[in-house]
């Protein structure tokens, strides 16, 4: 990805009266957010804040009953001797086990080499020449939604490529990054196929349903019909927000890229692309042999399933190879790679560009670990659930209230599975008693959880998006990113909730054999 040292452009604001109010609010959020320190410093301040807040909460005796384990959880002070020892002894572990760190660095070995050899630039320019410009935005959002099939690979691969693609067609790269991030994270639960999240959440829902009905089975396909239809809703809404709200705020891009001068491919580049395509076909053919046969090596050795399977568990290294091998083939054919030293240099160059992200990851990992150790997230989640339970809401109002609560709690608990493990034992039985299936409770949770992913720095990939954005706007800060993503978050939350309300009124099935109400 290309660096430039240009400051963020002064964005011309939307002139229509309909958007002026929103723009003023977003401008205020952006200014406040950008007035904050550098993201590394900000996460350090937040970590210190959690330490102090944990001590106050522990002194006040804050506690909750964990709904799944029925264990009383109290706020844990990190200023205690035990807390200080843990912060010292587990700092390195927090860093090396930070969820995005390994996948990001491994994927960048392949992506970075493809960029170094010139494959990405040539492929993007070729793609620009054959792709209708009107389809760029919806295509990026749709690919983002679909990318959750590959677990978190969309964050690592699609978001920077989308920024490069937008720059290549003369559009603002941050709007491309935002469109991809909106699809990958804001539309995380939607998909045309069953992904890794579906069986994970279904298992938690089934355990929660067993409190009332030990024989109830929650199938991983229990939300499939609704989520497949939601893929198109998210794509359309994300497309409109990108073209009509987000990109007009960003204005014209003042970076160094001049797409008009880059459209023509040289003979060497065309040759490189041909050999890269042949190499990609070879990679895909080899992967097909390892995945498609019933007893293929990368299927689950016991069940033969692809969800879960070694294929999905190893998707990051497979994606790396999918960039690495064609990148080498391109470089050798185009003359940008002559020997193994050039290959190693390309991968080393990619790693050197990740220095800031590594520093940011270290501090963010400590903050997220401290927040988890303190039990503050669980206390907030359970107390929020108790408020909703005692609100007196019924029917669709109750379910939409649960959407909002899920979105709010997601701002403090970045993991969907961790959040659902806390909330399911409360809400699944509660709504079953009111006549609603575990599948519908799980579904409304997924709407709220996905919609607020893109505006919370506690989401583990949020720092990565900041780092990617800074490759195009050196001075991009958290405030700009949150202000850019907030319209997507609000639009997804409202449109998805309305879509669910329509589904609810029509009484449509949520998935095979899964309805809204208990029979």
> 72 pairs with which residues across the strands?
65
The arithmetic mean of pLDDT across residues 165-190, rounded, is 91
CA 339 and chain centroid, separation = 37
Q: Are 233 and 499 in contact (CB under 8 A)?
A: yes
The answer to whether residue 47 scores a pLDDT higher than 60 is yes
pLDDT confidence of residue 12 = 43
The answer to whether residue 68 scores a pLDDT higher than 70 is no
> 239 pairs with which residues across the strands?
none
pLDDT confidence of residue 152 = 66
The answer to whether residue 205 scores a pLDDT higher than 50 is yes
The arithmetic mean of pLDDT across residues 100-106, rounded, is 82
Between 136-146 and 173-181, two packed helices, what is the crossing angle to 10 degrees? Answer: 40
Least confident piece of the model among 35-44, 154-163, 273-282, 451-460: 35-44
pLDDT confidence of residue 263 = 56
Q: Are 174 and 184 in contact (CB under 8 A)?
A: no
Range from 71-75, 260-264, 282-286 that averages highest in pLDDT = 282-286
Q: Band of the pLDDT at 194, cuts 50, 70, 90?
A: confident
Range from 180-194, 236-250, 342-356 that averages highest in pLDDT = 236-250
The whole-angstrom separation of Cα 513 and Cα 500 is: 18
Q: Band of the pLDDT at 2, cuts 50, 70, 90?
A: very low
Structure tokens at 128: 């620009």
CA 85 and chain centroid, separation = 33
pLDDT confidence of residue 149 = 66
Single out the residue of 502, 514, 507 nearest to residue 233, CA to CA.
502
Structure tokens at 287: 């992967």
Single out the residue of 351, 324, 354, 353 nearest to residue 340, CA to CA.
324
Q: Band of the pLDDT at 11, cuts 50, 70, 90?
A: very low
DSSP string, 8-61: PP-PPPP-SHHHHHHHHHHHHHHHHHHTS--HHHHHHHHHHHHHHHHHHHHHTT
Q: Band of the pLDDT at 479, cuts 50, 70, 90?
A: confident
Single out the residue of 223, 234, 219 nearest to residue 188, CA to CA.
234
The answer to whether residue 343 scores a pLDDT higher than 90 is yes
The answer to whether residue 502 scores a pLDDT higher than 90 is yes
pTM for this entry? 0.73
Q: Band of the pLDDT at 510, cuts 50, 70, 90?
A: very high
């Amino acid at each position: 990805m290309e660096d430039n040292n240009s400051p963020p452009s002064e964005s011309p604001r939307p002139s229509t009266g309909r958007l002026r109010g929103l723009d003023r609010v977003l401008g205020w959020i952006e200014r406040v957010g950008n007035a904050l320190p550098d993201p590394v410093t900000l996460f350090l301040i937040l970590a210190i804040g959690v330490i102090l807040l944990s001590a106050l909460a522990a002194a006040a005796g804050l506690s909750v009953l964990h709904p799944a384990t029925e264990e009383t959880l109290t706020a844990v002070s990190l200023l205690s001797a035990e807390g200080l020892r843990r912060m010292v002894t587990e700092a390195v572990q927090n860093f090396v086990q930070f969820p995005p760190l390994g996948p990001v660095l491994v994927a960048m070995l392949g992506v970075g080499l493809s960029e170094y050899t010139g494959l990405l630039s040539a492929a993007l320019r070729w793609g620009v020449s054959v792709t209708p410009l009107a389809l760029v935005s919806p295509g990026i959002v749709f690919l983002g939604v679909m990318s959750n099939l590959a677990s978190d690979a969309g964050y690592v691969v699609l978001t920077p490529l989308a920024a490069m693609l937008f720059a290549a067609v003369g559009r603002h790269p941050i709007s491309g990054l935002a469109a991809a991030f909106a699809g990958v994270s804001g539309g995380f639960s939607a998909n045309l196929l069953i992904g890794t999240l579906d069986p994970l959440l279904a298992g938690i829902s089934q355990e929660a349903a067993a409190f009332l009905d030990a024989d109830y089975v929650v199938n991983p396909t229990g939300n499939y019909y609704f989520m497949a239809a939601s893929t198109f809703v998210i794509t359309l809404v994300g497309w409109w927000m990108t073209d009509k709200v987000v990109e007009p705020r960003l204005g014209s891009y003042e970076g160094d890229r001049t797409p008009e001068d880059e459209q023509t491919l040289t003979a060497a580049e065309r040759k490189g692309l041909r050999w890269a395509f042949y190499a990609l076909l070879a990679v895909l053919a080899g992967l097909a042999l390892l995945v498609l046969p019933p007893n293929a090596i990368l299927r689950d050795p016991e069940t033969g399933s692809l969800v879960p399977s070694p294929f999905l568990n190893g998707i990051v290294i497979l994606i790396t190879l999918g960039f690495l091998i064609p990148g080498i083939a391109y470089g050798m054919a185009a003359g940008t790679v002559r020997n193994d030293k050039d290959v190693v240099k390309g991968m080393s160059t990619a790693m050197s560009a990740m220095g800031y992200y590594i520093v940011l990851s270290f501090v963010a990992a400590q903050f997220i670990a401290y927040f988890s150790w303190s039990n503050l997230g669980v206390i907030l989640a359970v107390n929020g659930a108790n408020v909703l339970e005692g609100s007196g809401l019924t029917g669709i109002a109750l379910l939409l209230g649960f959407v909002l609560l899920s979105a709010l709690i997601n701002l403090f608990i970045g993991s969907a599975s961790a959040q659902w493990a806390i909330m399911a034992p409360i809400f699944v039985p509660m709504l079953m008693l009111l006549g609603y299936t575990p599948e519908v409770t799980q579904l409304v949770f997924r709407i709220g959880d996905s919609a607020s992913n893109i505006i919370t720095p506690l989401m583990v990939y949020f720092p990565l998006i900041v780092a990617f954005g800074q490759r195009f706007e050196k001075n991009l800060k958290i405030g700009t990113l949150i202000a850019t993503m907030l319209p997507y978050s609000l639009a997804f939350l409202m449109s998805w909730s309305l879509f669910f309300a329509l589904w609810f009124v029509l009484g449509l099935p949520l998935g095979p054999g899964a309805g809204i109400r208990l029979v």
